[in-house]
Each structure stands twice: as C-alpha cells, then as structure tokens.
Structure 1
Amino acid sequence: MDKHQEHLQDGWKMDHAEPDIIKEDLAIYQTLIANVCMIGTENTDDWVLVDTGIARYGERILAACEKRFGDRPPKAIILTHGHFDHVGSAKYLCKHWDVPVFVHPMEWDYVIGRRDYPVGDSTVGGGTIALFSPFFPSRGVNLARYAEKLPEDGSLPFLPDWKYIHTPGHTPGHISLFRKKDKALIAGDAFTTEKTESTLSVFTQAQHVHGPPAYYTPNWREAETSVKRLAELDPSVAITGHGLPMEGEALTKQLNELADNFRELAIPKHKRSIH
C-alpha cells in the first residue's frame, strides 16, 4: 500500500469513528477488540473517558470523541485496569489533551513501569485468541507523567454521581464503575458479554454474559467474588470491556447465572482444583 492509499484509509477510519449512544450521557467506541466509554452528555465540557483501547488507536478514539464533544477535552481518563487493550492509547491521549489518568492504587505499579502482568495463559482453552495470548503484550506501561491514584473512598474525580468498586481477580487493581440512580454499570473485564477466548465470538459479537478473559485472569477466587458483588447491584445496563452492552432481563438472568455457577461457567477445568 503506497502512502496515498494509507492516507485515504486513515481518513476513512476517522470519518467512520462513530460513538455508539447507550444512554443520553453514556457512549462507547469499539477499538477492534475492546471498548472505550465516554461519560457525559453531548457537547458538555464535563466529560470523562474510561479506558483507551489498544495502541495506535489514539487518533480514531480522538475522532470519535470529537464527534460527540467537539474539541472539548475530557476532565480526565479513568482506567478500569492496565492491560494492553485498555491502556494502549492512554499516553497518546493524555499528551494530546494534557489530562490526568486515574487508576486504583493496587494497579499503580503496572501503569508507571514498575511491574509487568503475567504472560497470557494458552492452556485455558476456548479458542484461537487464548492460544495466542502468550504473545500479547504483558509489560506494564509508563504513564508516570500523567498517572494519579483514585481516592480510597470509592469516589471518582469529576463524576459525583458515580462510584468505583474494587473488583480484583482479573488484575489486582481492577475497578468497575457504578451509578446508583439508574444502576448503570461499566464493568471493565470483571465480566464480558462475549467469549473473549474465541476469535469467532469476538468478531461475530455473539452476545452472552461470560466471565473475565480467562487467559489473563490469575486469581479466580477474587474474580468470582467480584462477579457476585456486581450481580448483587442488579445493574440495569452493563458496558463491558469486550462485547456489546447489555440491559434488562437478559442481563439480569445471565449475570446471576454466572454469579451462581461461576466455577463451572468461567473457571477453566484444570484451574478449578486450585480455586
């Protein structure tokens, strides 16, 4: 592909970087394999971005955000956790907007370059993505220039109606965001609405509640506790890191089923004895 063709292709991607509206003040943009979430009504000055997708998606995320908010920068970026598919474009966006990025204190070392995540576990089964997961990036990123720790009381900067819930298991400092007044939930990877281990499921987006990505989840006991805690909130709508948003009866039924049968539905068979 010559440079002219690359330019045309990039232009097409910018033009088609459309956010999907979930609620009046909630929108998502899908970055190939992971979702980013925008909290804030259209054209407001007071909005926040949750997660930043994979690397090299910064310009497309920026284009999607500009279609919703114009040239108004967010007040901040909040990360549910620091895996490569959620933090990949963080540095680009922080630099462009000159805004802080907030993480849970237990995720801190992974976003300032002090620690790396475990390598993906190809033995969990479930599909091609799991098989190739050891080749996914596992090194922590260095966002020290922009990173700030979330308050320990569960409050979220610039989001007075929202609280964060510490939902570890997938990573030590994983968080989910919840708004009590309408029971809106941004779950990150505490659970998903597609089978993330399967290439077919990811690209057809067959919608169903599943556990966290198995190849990247080292602590199943904590992961189960986190899912049960989120199910108890009885969310009306859930935006997850992978898959399409879900709401209503289907969400309630499937999330409760996952919480009640987590061992059988989420934990790989050879990991259950350890659990």
Structure 2
Amino acid sequence: MKIASDVYGYKTAIANIALVGGLGKDKQDWVLVDAGIPYSAKFILQYAKSLFGKKKPIAIILTHGHFDHIGALETLLHEWDVPIYAHSEEMSYLTGEEVYPRPTPFVVKGVMSFLSPFYPRDGIQLHSNLKVLQSGEELNFMEGWECIHTPGHTKGHISLYRKEDGLLLAGDAFVTVKQESLFAVLTQKEELHGPPAYFTPNRAESRESIMKLAKLEPSIIYTGHGKPLYGKEQIAKGLYRLIRHYDVGFAESPTIV
C-alpha cells in the first residue's frame, strides 16, 4: 500500500511496517521502519523485492522493541546484515539486558488486552548491528526526515516526521485502531486511540508525546496499528480530542475520525 511519495506500508497481521524509498544521492536507497510480527520475514522480503528488486535497505529503524515490531528482525538480518537504529533508551531491551514491564490487561478492556499476559516481552539480543538514533535531528541517511523521541509506550519509543509533506510515522505513540479490541483489530475500524494500553506503562508520558506530535500538525499519519489517515484539519481535530479525553490513570475515550 502506498502511503505517500516513496513511502509504502505493509501490514503483518496485527502490526504495520513502513518502507521508505527515494533516499541517497541517486534516490535509489531505502530504509525499513520496524520489522513486524514473528514469522513475517518471508512476506516482508517478498514485498521489499516487489518494490526495490534485489537492493537491500541501507538501514532498519525501530520505533521500539516490542515483539510485534521486531518479530522478523533476526531473519531479516541474515538476509541483509544492515545497521539497526533505535533510541538510546531502547537499547537495553534490544541487547537482552532488560525485559519490558508486565502488561496491564485491565486498563482498557478488550480481548487483545486480556490476552496480553501471554504476549512475549523479552528483549532481543542484538549487539554489533545496533546504532543510536539522535532525537530531534535530521537523519543523515534519510534527508528530510526527523527523529522524535516519543516515550510512554516504551522509554525509547521514537516517531519519524517528514516536514515536506507532513507525513508522520508515529509507531505506537498513538494508533488508528482500538488495539485492545479484537473486533476493531479484525475490522480495522478507523479510530484515533492512545497506544495499546496493556503495554503502555507511563500513560502521562504517552499523553505528552501525543501532544508533541499534534503540534507538528501532520497531514498524513501512518501508525504501528491501523490504517493511514489523511487531512491536516481532520487529523488535528482527532488528535486534540484524543488528548482532551486521554486519562493517564485509566481508559481514554475513543476518537472517531
């Protein structure tokens, strides 16, 4: 699915990845953002080949290290052996030094929430391929893109923003589907929500991150879960409504866009 100029999205069952092309001096380079659920490597490789032929990405960027965003990573590295970029606050989870906090399945109720105690939360053991992303700076290998630290869902969560067309790759800083609900996940009903509540230990920080992203006034948003949304005014209205109703202690009200 084409999201915007040189940017393509792909859904790996419950989580999205993005492939960003048009990079480098000859505009032939590309970057993978996130690595989907476990066992999705075959499908990611096939999709990447359909877009870029045999050319491998120059890097893989992780918005964060939850299992549904790094599931295919180790297999992809066997094929590509490229640097992996993540925020410094996420590094301990990518080197096996820490595990993510236990889920909180009753913060926002739903089948996906109730199943969350069974989701993997162990860190992955990466070392030699890891590189640190500098938040707030334009990426030297992604001209025109900025890395933004958006903690809350995880300590080192990041989002990517392209000012030229207002495209925001938000990861799970917020999402466009109620990820706690199995019905919503299956139907992909478009709603602006906070990040999956069962795996968001710091909801106060999460709300602040949503506010930070809303101030960018994005025209296009593509998140780690759900469909892309378009329209600057529509997105702004939805985000600020989400911020107003976002309860840092309990559940947030859904924002229908």
Q: Is the pair's TM-score, using the shorter chain for normalization, greater than 0.5?
A: yes
Partner of 1:54: 37
Structure number with greater Rg is: 1
Provide the residue aligned with 2:28 in structure 1.
45
Q: Is the 8 A contact 2:11 2:17 kept in 1?
A: yes
Q: 1:257 aligns with which of 221, 225, 241?
A: 241
Change (3 A) 1:204 1:68: same
Q: Which has the higher helix share?
A: 1
Instruction: Flag the 1:134–1:174 CA change in 2: closer, same or farther, 3 A.
Output: same
Q: 1-side partners of 2:110 and 2:87: how far apart? A: 31
Equivalent residue for 1:268? 250
1:197 aligned onto 2:186: no
In structure 2, the residue matched to 1:81 is 64
Any conservation in 1 of the 2:134–2:147 contact (CA below 8 Å)?
no
Distance 1:72 1:252 in 2: 37
Aligned length: 249
Q: Partners of 2:4 and 2:134 in 1: how far apart? A: 27
Find the partner of 1:31 among 3, 8, 12. 12
Question: Bigger relative contact order, structure 1 or 2, given CA contacts below 8 A and separation 6+?
Answer: 2
The DSSP-based 3-state class of the residue aligned with 2:161 is strand
| Percent of paired sites with the same residue | 44
The residue type equivalent to 1:198 in the other structure is: S
- Counterpart CA distance in 2 for 1:155 and 1:73 is 22
C-alpha separation between the residues in 1 aligned to 2:166 and 2:249? 27
CA distance, structure 2, for counterparts of residue 269 and residue 152 of structure 1: 29
From 138, 146, 149, give the equivalent of 1:166: 149
Matched, 1:65 2:48: yes
Task: Tell me the distance in 1 between the aligned counterparts of 2:243 and 2:135.
Answer: 26
C-alpha separation in 1, matches of 2:179 and 2:126:
27
CA shift at 1:94, angstroms? 1.8
Query: Which residue among 195, 203, 222 is the counterpart of 1:220?
Result: 203
**Are the structure 2 counterparts of residues 123 and 59 from structure 1 closer, same or farther at C-alpha, using a change threshold of 3 Å?**
same
Structure having the higher strand fraction is: 2
* 1:114 alignment partner, one of 69, 92, 97: 97
TM-score by length of 1: 0.86
Report the equivalent of 1:8. none
Alignment partner of 2:192: what SS?
Answer: coil
Moved beyond 6 Å, runs of 4+: none
1:132-147 alignment, distance < 5 Å: 132-147=115-130
| AA in 1 matched with 2:9 | I
Shift of 1:144: 1.3
SS at match of 1:92: helix
Q: Distance in 2 between matches of 1:61 and 1:147?
A: 20
Q: Residue 255 of structure 2 corresponds to which residue in structure 1? A: none
**Cα RMSD, aligned residues only:** 1.8
Q: CA deviation at 1:152?
A: 4.9
- Structure-1 separation of matches of 2:37 and 2:215: 31
